[in-house]
Amino acid sequence: MTILNKNKCLLGLISHPNIGIQTIKKILLAYDNDIDKAWNAHQDDLAKRLDRKIILLLTDARNKFDPDTEIEKLAKLDVGYVTMYDKAYPELLKQLYDFPPVLFVKGNIEVLKAKSLGVVGSRKYTNYGAKMSHKFSKECAENGLVIVSGLALGIDAIAHQAAVDAGTPTIGVLGCGLDRVYPVSNYHLGEAIIRGGGAIVSEYPLGTPPMKQNFPQRNRIIAGLSVGTLVIEAAEHSGALITAYSALENNRDVFAIPGNIDAETSYGTNELLKKGAKLVTKVEDILEEMNIKIADNHTKYEEYIPNTPEEKIVFSLLKVDSKSADEMVAETKMNVIALNATLSLMELSGAIQNIGGGRYKLK
């Protein structure tokens, strides 16, 4: 049998569909955290330390899963991995009592160590929820926080998109293997996250389908990577509340935006507020709690003086928020050719920036 290092041993074990965190924890406990000793041990030694069921699983993993083959599969899909033994493993996540021993990563691994804010909420969101998710996520991102969410439909996707719009990294946590994005409708958003210097992560090996039981587990990683978690909207029984309670259990800040007491999607947030979550009505409430200095709003664009009536119109629109060319045409009825020419000149002069997806913002 080939002698393997700790990282490869963990990868071999986690690749087995019937070996989960609890089994790995028992093996680690029996071998003083040296997983390679367990993987490379003879049957007689295993029998002295582990029960028969775990020995059978470990032996099956050694026989069926070659870590080098798994690494090749990951490389073909441009997926990396980090284990509990690596310096690159985020220390904040390791504070969870049930932290994942292996984290698969597609994109920028370094972003996992950035100061992050989890943003979660309902899939069935209201217009109010959508507005708050985009506003708070974008403003927090612009003030240096990396937005972490679940890349799900609804509030999660809006939070990620807000970070992308702000030109900042964001982290999406999946409940399946990284050989797919679930839901499929968020595939392009996932690609945008990676292009923007962010990452998509999962504790599940390639080939793991998006099973229902995976998502509550996924939610603890969102909370674990984040200094605090902001709940936008949440029904009485929702994944967003699971994330919030996981954050509370691990002594992380939980923020909640109050909602209409008659709205189903506000039940969870209002309950969190009654239980001691921090009520927020503006982004400064979060930044001050995290001791983050609010970014100076006196940016370069304030030195810019529009030269034409068209530039004045674009300048006034983008002072409010980033916009696409289509949105600007719809709001101003400006000629498309004239608008495109104006955008090009303003971009060349350094007044505005194309942030991707056909959207522009003031520099």
pLDDT digits 0-9 by tens, 224-244: 999 999 999 988 878 888 898
- How many domains does the structure of the chain reveal? 3
Residue 97 lies in a domain: no
Query: Looking at the predicted structure, is the pLDDT value of residue 320 above 80?
Result: no
pLDDT at residue 182 is higher than 80: yes
pLDDT for the residue numbered 357: 66
Final residue belonging to a domain, choices 262, 289, 316: 289
Looking at the fold, whether 238 and 312 belong to one and the same domain comes out as no
Give pLDDT, residue 209.
94
Report the pLDDT averaged over residues 201-221. Answer: 93
Q: Are residues 266 and 324 in the same domain?
A: no
In a domain, 95, yes or no: no
The whole-number pLDDT of residue 186 equals 94
Question: Do 253 and 160 share a structural domain?
Answer: yes
Helix (H) or strand (E) holding 23: helix 21-30
The predicted pLDDT at position 47 comes to 95
| Averaged pLDDT for residues 59-87 | 93
User: Residue 195: is it exposed, middle or buried by C-beta count within 10 angstroms (0-12/13-18/19+)?
Assistant: exposed
- Asked whether residue 225 falls in the same domain as residue 317, the answer is no
The pLDDT score that the predictor gives to residue 332 is 84
Task: Supply the angle between the helices 127-142 and 155-165 in degrees, to the nearest 10.
Answer: 40
Q: Tell me the per-residue pLDDT of 271-319, one tens digit each, with 9 for 90 and over.
A: 899 888 999 999 999 999 988 877 654 444 455 678 788 888 888 888 7
- Residue 89 pLDDT > 80: yes
Average pLDDT in the 236-258 region?
A: 88
Average pLDDT, the chain: 89
For tokens 């070996």, what's the residue? 19
Q: Are strands 199-202 and 228-231 parallel, antiparallel or unpaired?
A: unpaired
The residue segments making up the domain with residue 20 are: 1-72
CATH of the domain at 354: 1.10.10.10
Over residues 36-45, the pLDDT tens digits come to: 999 999 999 9
Range in 36-45, 83-92, 201-210, 299-308 with the lowest mean pLDDT: 299-308
| Same-domain pairing of 40 and 136 | no
Rounded to two decimals, the pTM is 0.79
Q: Are 89 and 95 in contact (CB under 8 A)?
A: no
For range 2-6, the mean pLDDT: 70
User: Which letter, b or e, does each residue of 140-150 get, where b requires 16 or more Cβ atoms within 10 Å of its Cβ?
Assistant: bbbbebbbbbb
Of 254, 289, 324, the domain-final residue: 289
Residue 170: per-residue pLDDT: 96
Q: What is the 3-state secondary structure (H, E, C) of 60-109?
A: HHHHHCCHHHHHHHHHHCCCEEEECCCCCCCHHHHCCCCCCCEEEEEECH
C-alpha–C-alpha distance, residues 27 and 13, integer Å: 10
Give the pLDDT band of residue 4 (cuts 50, 70, 90): low
What's the confidence (pLDDT) of residue 296?
Answer: 57
Least Cα distance to 102 among 214, 20, 18 occurs for: 20
Residues 166, 142 contacting (CB under 8 angstroms):
yes
